[in-house]
């Protein structure tokens, strides 16, 4: 596995990897890798000839009171894991390499960047869109792999790719969960044993929404109400949002008949976690 920390070196490595018309798949991450990330790496391996992974804890997507400085950084374990997955290139730039002094250009996907997580985390999607656009420019992947876990991020990036004519395909991979239902996340390691148990209420609430939908209920306010009843079983979990939206525009949907995204974010202790469920169109449920 080639490891590069500079843009110039990454570009020169990629010229070699791409020789003879080989395709490149990119998996952008912030490190502290888990099986969710690895599922993206394996998808990239299945779709592309060469697999590039980036590890960059992107300062511009964290708010001033968020966890940028204490975000888990597990470099040695991440490298070992990526080597064992036979990743071809690991791009791990410093903040200064990605945002040289005087850097002042940002990407804002208007309208969408203040919905769901964007509403609770002002500036978050501006940071995400900017860093992903930069990674696309540096790596020039044929395909880029993202997790459905971050459903709002997927919607914002899909729109960005369309609006800015990026010449690549976004591939979205399913949420990887623990056997008990908890969606894997680098932030789960912040949870105490007690909090981890409480955190299960998110996937439980979404499962309840799924069951109600399968019974033919399509009224969003009713589905949200019943999700709320499950969430209330853990009074110490503070709900940030629990909504049913259009998965492409992230706008609220009154009815789920044509398909919908049920998304929830909550604070368990001081840790913010998210989870979601895609509801297919009613006729296919
Ligand atoms: P992060 O390192 O948290 O920025 O995540 C990097 C990529 O991994 C993003 O595309 C996430 O959506 C994806 N990801 C994170 N957790 C999961 C999961 N549990 N299942 C699938 N993909 C995930």
Nearest to 53 by CA among 2, 122, 104, 105: 2
Using a pLDDT cut of 70, give the percent of the chain over it.
100
pLDDT in tens, 41-56: 999 999 999 999 999 9
Domain ranges in the chain are: 2-173, 186-278
pLDDT averaged over the chain? 97
Query: Within a 10 A sphere around the Cβ of 233, how many other Cβ atoms?
Result: 11
Q: Which helix (H) or strand (E) holds 90?
A: strand 89-91
Cα(102) to centroid(ligand 1), Å: 30
- Between the CA of residue 46 and those of 85, 108, 112, 163, 251, what are the distances in Å? 12, 32, 31, 28, 33
Task: Grade residue 283 by pLDDT with cuts at 50, 70 and 90.
Answer: confident
Helix axes 193-214, 220-231, angle to 10 degrees: 150
The CATH number fitting domain 2-173, selected from 3.90.1140.10, 3.30.360.10, 2.30.30.100, 3.40.50.620: 3.40.50.620
Whether residue 155 has its Cβ less than 6 Å from ligand 1: no
Nearest to 114 by CA among 105, 125, 103: 125
Cα(189) to centroid(ligand 1), Å: 14
47 is catalytic: no
CATH 3.40.30.10, domain 186-278, yes or no: no
What does the alpha-carbon distance between residue 190 and residue 70 come to, in Å, rounded to a whole number? 10
């Amino acid at each position: 596995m080639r490891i590069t920390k500079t843009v110039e070196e990454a570009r020169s490595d990629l010229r070699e990897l791409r020789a003879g018309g080989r395709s490149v798949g990119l998996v952008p991450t912030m490190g502290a890798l888990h099986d969710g990330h690895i599922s993206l790496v394996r998808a990239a391996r299945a779709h592309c000839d060469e697999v590039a992974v980036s590890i960059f804890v992107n300062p511009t997507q964290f708010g001033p009171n968020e966890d940028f400085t204490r975000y888990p950084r597990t470099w040695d374990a991440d490298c070992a894991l990526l080597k064992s997955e036979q990743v071809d290139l690991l791009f791990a730039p410093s903040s200064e390499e990605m945002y040289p002094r005087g850097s002042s250009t940002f990407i804002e996907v208007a309208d969408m960047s203040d919905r769901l997580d964007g509403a609770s985390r002002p500036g978050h999607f501006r940071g995400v869109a900017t860093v992903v656009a930069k990674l696309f420019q540096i790596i020039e992947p044929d395909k880029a792999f993202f997790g459905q876990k971050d459903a709002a991020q997927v919607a914002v990036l899909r729109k960005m790719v369309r609006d800015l004519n990026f010449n690549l395909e976004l591939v979205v991979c399913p949420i990887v969960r623990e056997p008990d239902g908890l969606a894997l996340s680098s932030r789960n390691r912040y949870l105490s044993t007690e909090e981890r148990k409480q955190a299960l209420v998110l996937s439980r609430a979404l499962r309840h929404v799924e069951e109600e939908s399968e019974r033919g209920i399509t009224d969003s306010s009713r589905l949200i109400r019943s999700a709320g009843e499950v969430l209330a079983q853990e009074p110490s979990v503070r709900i940030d949002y629990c909504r049913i939206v259009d998965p492409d525009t992230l706008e609220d949907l009154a009815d789920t008949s044509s398909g919908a995204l049920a998304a929830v974010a909550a604070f368990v202790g001081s840790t913010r976690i998210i989870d979601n469920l895609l509801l297919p169109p009613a006729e296919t449920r």
